């Protein structure tokens, strides 16, 4: 039996649709699932939901201890596709922060009621902004939190 192998279809099945590339050391450190590409968050499907890892404690010396939840192969409904770790004294990332949607080949960032809001480049979304949604383009900067937040990522469409 001869099987036709479509290499392009195989590549598409294994490659993410987009990635978020960390722009700062803090943004890279917030990514909980470590791999050889620590500075990137792969996006395999849309909508893609981002929120804060809520299982943190502060020890007697004031250090943040993370009790990371298992991300892959979890059975049941989760509120986020990735749980970022916010190491700041003032939290920038909400538990249910933002969602990235794809509609007809166009991408959108939707704030999910986060306390500090988000931004696409310099355009504020959510919180005290009048906008809850902004279009995303390849190469745009996404900021989780206030304009001073270190949690900055470049949106890259593959």
Q: Using the predicted structure, report yes or no on whether residue 58 has a pLDDT greater than 80.
A: no
Q: Answer whether the bond into residue 47 is a cis peptide, omega within 30°.
A: yes
Q: Using the predicted structure, report yes or no on whether residue 3 has a pLDDT greater than 80.
A: no
Given CA atoms 30, 33, 37, 43 in this order, what sign does their dihedral have?
negative
- Predicted confidence at residue 14, as pLDDT, reads 83
Assign 38 a pLDDT band (cuts: 50, 70, 90).
confident
Strand locations in 4-140, DSSP E?
A: 18-22, 40-43, 48-52, 56-58, 64-66, 82-84, 98-103, 106-111, 118-120, 123-125, 133-136
As a whole number of angstroms, the distance between CA 38 and CA 49 comes to: 19
Assign 141 a pLDDT band (cuts: 50, 70, 90).
very high
- Predicted confidence at residue 21, as pLDDT, reads 96
Q: Return the domain boundaries, the chain.
A: 16-157
Highest mean pLDDT among 70-74, 86-90, 91-95, 108-112: 108-112
Residue 116 exposure: Cα atoms within 13 Å on the Cβ side: 20
Q: DSSP states of 86-126 as a string? A: --SSS--S-TT-EEEEEETTEEEEEE-S-SS-EEETTEEES
Cβ atoms of 105 and 49 within 8 Å: the answer is no
Domain 16-157 of CATH type 2.60.200.20: yes
Assign 57 a pLDDT band (cuts: 50, 70, 90).
low
């Amino acid at each position: 039996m001869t099987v036709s192998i479509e290499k392009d279809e195989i590549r598409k099945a294994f490659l993410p649709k987009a990635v978020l590339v960390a722009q700062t050391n803090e943004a890279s450190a917030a990514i909980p699932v470590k791999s050889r590409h620590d500075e990137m968050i792969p996006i395999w499907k849309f909508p893609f939901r981002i929120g804060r890892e809520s299982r943190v404690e502060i020890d007697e010396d004031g250090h943040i201890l993370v009790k990371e939840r298992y991300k892959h192969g979890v059975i049941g409904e989760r509120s986020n596709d990735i749980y970022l770790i916010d190491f700041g004294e003032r939290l920038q990332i909400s538990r249910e922060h933002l969602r990235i949607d794809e509609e007809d080949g166009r991408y959108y960032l939707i704030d999910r009621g986060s306390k500090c809001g988000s931004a696409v480049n310099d355009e504020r979304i959510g919180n005290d902004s009048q906008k809850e949604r902004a279009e995303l383009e390849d190469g745009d900067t996404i900021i989780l939190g206030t304009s001073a937040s270190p949690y900055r990522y470049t949106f890259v469409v593959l």
